[in-house]
Amino acid sequence: MEKKGTPLSELGEFGLIDHLTNAIKLQNDSSQLGVGDDAAVLNYKNKKVLVTTDLLLEGIHFNMVYTPLKHLGYKAVVVNISDIVAMNAIPKQITVSIGVSARYTVEMLDELYDGIRLACEVYAVDLVGGDTSSSLTGLTISITCVGEGDDETLSYRNGAKDTDLICVTGDLGSAFMGLQLLEREQKVLKEVGGVQPDFAGFEYLLQRQLKPEARLDVVKSLRDKNIIPTSMIDISDGLSSELLHICKQSRVGCRIYEERIPVDFQTAKLAEEFNMNLITAALNGGEDYELLFSVPLKYHDEIIKLPQVRIIGHITDESKGAFMITRGDETEIELVAQGWNGLG
Ligand code: ADP
Ligand code: MG
């Protein structure tokens, strides 16, 4: 992992900050002043301002053995953007704070910032500040994301109502299976050594784990159709756990249908190869960063026209509890939360 390169001490703190931030061009009207003064200045006029932050520690949230730094930078930004998007709001600015040990070189931080800048470009977000410090061990990244929304269109976790449709975007369990694959290859590498990892046929799973995307596209499509979710959350800890958050905070119950839970072919194939229960991976696997939301029943015909969205069930009265109805025999299984300590 360790590479030869320019020691951070060669640039010094200010030289390094300048090196990492000098090419930044601000693209949002709300970014009045970015890097370079004691604080950034944002101008949100009459909008609501949303703020979210995440702390990522090497060895806890990411593993340098199989995480390319560019991907790490990208993912660190995306998980924050995902939290703003999950409020039905639009991300606009980030700040990035890093703690780095002497093991890291200027070139390694360049890779990290390549990923950070790419995510900023893809999601039209401005990097407006941060902080830089040396650390005794490893790499620490803390990102804060600021976004804008309107009172009338923000979606909270507590607004789901009886009979609402429950929707999810994309597919579930693939980021978790990607992690299983990476961990297997790391083990093989340790035990056998020297062999090239074999990821053939599972590229999508790796991409989902290493370079996830936030569903800003879905928030925009819903906006185009004038649909405001009654509740919304991003799926970082697994469908089951997130759905229970919505149920608890909205004081409702739910029924979801196993056969409707979207799963990719590669996820199913690897689950079979690893002898793992597919639906457990889809219900409890973390880090998909898809959206889970509820909408009033009247939007059914509009929702089914959205290619990225699947209706997986409906909200019920609180007294009915939270259950999944299994494929085939249609037994009801109570949903349980199995938190997932992943990135984000
Ligand atoms: P201060 O002493 O006020 O904390 P710094 O010297 O740490 O200021 O930072 C100078 C400028 O560079 C500030 O605008 C700050 O937001 C920005 N900055 C510092 N570190 C980073 C970083 N890692 N990424 C992006 N911007 C940074
Ligand atoms: Mg500082």
pLDDT in tens, 145-181: 999 999 999 999 999 999 999 999 999 999 999 999 9
Q: Which residues contact 213 (CB under 8 A, 6 or more apart)?
A: 78, 289
Phi, psi of 242 (to 5 degrees): -70, -40
For atom 19 of ligand 1, which residue has the closest CA?
A: 131
In ligand 1, the atom with minimum distance to the C-alpha of 127 is 25
- Indicate the pLDDT class of residue 340, thresholds 50, 70 and 90: very low
Q: How many Å lie between the centroid of ligand 1 and the Cα of residue 2?
A: 26
Tokens of 316: 């019920």
Q: How far apart, in whole angstroms, are the C-alpha atoms of residue 69 and residue 117?
A: 12
Number of neighbours of residue 127 by Cβ within 10 angstroms: 25
Q: Which of 21, 26, 31, 100 to mutate to test the pocket of ligand 1 (most atoms within 8 A of CB)?
A: 21
Give 188-209 pLDDT, tens digit per residue. 877 877 666 778 899 999 999 9
Number of neighbours of residue 14 by Cβ within 10 angstroms: 9
For atom 7 of ligand 1, which residue has the closest CA?
A: 131
Helix (H, G, I), strand (E, B) or coil at 250: helix
183-222 as b/e: b if 16+ CB within 10 A = eebeeeeeeeeeeeeeeeebebbbebbbbbbbbbebbebb
In ligand 1, the atom with minimum distance to the C-alpha of 95 is 25
Q: Which residues, in sequence order, are bridge partners of residue 313?
A: 166, 256
For atom 2 of ligand 1, which residue has the closest CA?
A: 38
Give 214-247 pLDDT, tens digit per residue. 999 999 999 999 999 999 999 999 999 999 999 9
Residues with CB under 6 A from ligand 1: 17, 20-21, 35-38, 96, 98, 127, 129-132
Give 15-69 pLDDT, tens digit per residue. 999 999 998 999 999 999 999 999 999 999 999 999 999 999 999 999 998 899 9
Residue 343 has pLDDT above 50, yes or no: no
Q: How far apart, in whole angstroms, are the C-alpha atoms of residue 213 and residue 290?
A: 8
For atom 1 of ligand 1, which residue has the closest CA?
A: 38
Cα torsion 173, 174, 175, 178: sign: positive
Q: Which of 19, 128, 132 to mutate to test the pocket of ligand 1 (most atoms within 8 A of CB)?
A: 132
CB distance 251 to 261 below 8 Å: no
CB distance 148 to 89 below 8 Å: yes
In ligand 1, the atom with minimum distance to the C-alpha of 131 is 20
The whole-model pTM stands at 0.94
Q: How many Å lie between the centroid of ligand 2 and the Cα of residue 33?
A: 16
Q: How far apart, in whole angstroms, are the C-alpha atoms of residue 91 and residue 144?
A: 11
For atom 27 of ligand 1, which residue has the closest CA?
A: 130
Helix, strand, coil % in the chain, rounded to nearest 5: 35, 25, 40
CB distance 308 to 170 below 8 Å: yes
Q: What is the C-alpha end-to-end distance of the chain, expressed in Å?
A: 24
Report the Cα 268 to chain-centroid distance in Å: 21
